[in-house]
């Protein structure tokens, strides 16, 4: 089973490779006799031809590859590892439907290497949860014109399009369900500090009432310090399930940011913060891809 090329097809069908290419790609402006088209198509079929996308990329200058790059440190706890699983699934599914192939790459939180973008000539990239201070080096070594959608990261750089969830709205909703109660908050950590800070600011309570999740032991302690009868507003459903081990689920409101609202404990309340974050990110990417350049679009998009 050796590799079949258009040359083989050309020979088989007694045409030139150009003609084969025209036909296989349905080139719009090329008129082809039904007869030759048919001959070529059946030849291709018979020979079991599969195009070589690397070769195609080389000449078309489009690879059809989209990257999903996620910031990750070594030894992350399970709730952190799983955090973007849903988003990756969704994006991958949507992109695949659209005919793109997805390159998945974790990048080290400490020293993010994004060489893959240039090396693989990715057509577009999702960058997830990136430290603020790394954006400079990223944008510096960056092939201009590659659509770059930054997720869950705040950064002052007009090069990037950013998608974040509407934590303010989610917060309002959650709070509206708990009026008149003492509340404590648990939020999820991001490598992007400004984002964490923005969420903190939006919440605007004292440090004693807010915990940025780090590990289960600290969480336990934090919760145990809260006055009896307090209500908890927890960001992220994985963290929520942990909190539910130490607080009455009925006292909790979980803000779902990982796309798994079904997993929150039965008696806890939940508000979904990302209804369609993947969808939005995807659509933004498609827009950028098709415009093939700058877009007169808000650089910040808040989901839902």
Q: Give me the least distance between CB of 38 and DNA, in Å please.
A: 10
The 3-state DSSP class for residue 76 equals coil
* Residue 22 touches which of DNA, its own copies, none (Cβ within 5-8 Å per kind): DNA
| Nearest to 164, CA basis, from 136, 134, 127 | 127
β-partners of residue 156 are none
Q: How far is the CB of 16 from its own copies (least distance, A)?
A: 21
Rg (CA), the chain: 25
Please give the Cα distance from 149 to 288 (Å, whole number): 9
- If binding is defined by CB under 7 A, does position 14 make contact with DNA? yes
The residues in 130-169 that bind its own copies, with binding defined as CB under 8 A, are 141-144
Choosing from 1, 11, 22, 43, the residue that interacts with DNA (CB under 7 A) is 22
* Both tokens assigned to 246: 């130490």
Q: Is 27 in the site for its own copies (CB under 8 A)?
A: no
Q: Which does 243 bind (CB under 5 to 8 A by kind): its own copies, DNA, none?
A: none
Question: Nearest-CA neighbor of 242 among 204, 186, 290?
Answer: 186
Question: Burial level of 117, CB count in 10 A (0-12/13-18/19+)?
Answer: buried
Q: Which does 30 bind (CB under 5 to 8 A by kind): DNA, its own copies, none?
A: DNA
162: β partners:
150, 300
Of 65 and 244, the one with the shorter C-beta distance to DNA is: 65
| Region binding DNA by CB under 7 A among candidate stretches 35-43, 66-74, 78-86, 253-261 | 35-43
Binding to DNA by residue 52, rule CB under 7 A? yes
Contact indicator for 30, 22 with CB cutoff of 8 Å: yes
41 sits near DNA (criterion: CB under 7 A)? no
Q: Is 73 in the site for its own copies (CB under 8 A)?
A: no
CA 84 to chain centre: 7
Q: Which segments of 5-114 does DSSP mark as H helices, in order? A: 6-13, 17-25, 34-47, 53-60, 78-81, 85-97
Cβ(231)–Cβ(192) below 8 Å: no
Choices 12-20, 34-42, 261-269, 270-278; region in contact with its own copies by CB under 8 A: 261-269
Where on the chain is the footprint of its own copies (CB under 8 A)?
Answer: 1, 3, 48, 50-55, 57-58, 63, 65, 68, 72, 77-79, 81-82, 85-86, 88-89, 92-93, 96, 101-106, 115-116, 118-121, 141-144, 216, 238, 241, 245, 259-260, 262-263, 265-266
Where on the chain is the footprint of DNA (CB under 7 A)?
Answer: 3, 5-7, 14-19, 21-22, 24-25, 27, 30-33, 35-37, 51-52, 55-56, 58-61
């Amino acid at each position: 089973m050796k590799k079949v090329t258009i040359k083989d097809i050309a020979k088989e069908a007694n045409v030139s490779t150009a003609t084969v290419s025209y036909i296989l790609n349905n080139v719009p402006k090329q008129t082809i006799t039904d007869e030759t088209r048919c001959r070529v198509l059946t030849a291709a079929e018979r020979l079991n031809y599969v195009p070589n996308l690397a070769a195609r990329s080389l000449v078309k200058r489009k690879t059809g590859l989209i990257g999903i790059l996620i910031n990750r440190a070594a030894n992350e706890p399970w709730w952190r590892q799983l955090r973007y699983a849903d988003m990756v699934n969704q994006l991958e599914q949507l992109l695949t439907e659209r005919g793109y192939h997805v390159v998945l790459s974790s990048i080290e939180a400490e020293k993010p290497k994004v060489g893959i973008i240039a090396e693989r000539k990715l057509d577009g990239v999702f960058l997830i949860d990136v430290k603020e201070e790394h954006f400079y080096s990223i944008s510096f070594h960056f092939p201009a014109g590659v659509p770059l959608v930054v997720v869950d990261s705040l950064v002052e750089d007009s090069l990037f399009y950013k998608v974040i969830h509407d934590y303010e709205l989610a917060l309002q909703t959650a709070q509206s369900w708990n009026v008149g109660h003492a509340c404590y908050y648990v939020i999820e950590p991001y490598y992007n500090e400004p984002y964490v800070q923005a969420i903190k600011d939006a919440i605007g309570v004292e440090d004693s009432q807010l915990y940025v999740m780090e590990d289960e032991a600290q969480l336990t302690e934090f919760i145990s310090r809260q006055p009896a009868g307090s209500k908890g507003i927890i960001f992220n459903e994985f963290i929520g399930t942990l909190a539910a081990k130490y607080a009455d689920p009925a006292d909790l409101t979980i803000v779902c940011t990982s796309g798994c609202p079904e997993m929150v404990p039965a008696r806890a309340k939940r508000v979904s913060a990302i209804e369609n974050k993947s969808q939005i990110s995807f659509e933004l990417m498609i827009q950028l891809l098709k415009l093939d350049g700058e877009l007169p679009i808000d650089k910040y998009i808040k989901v839902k």
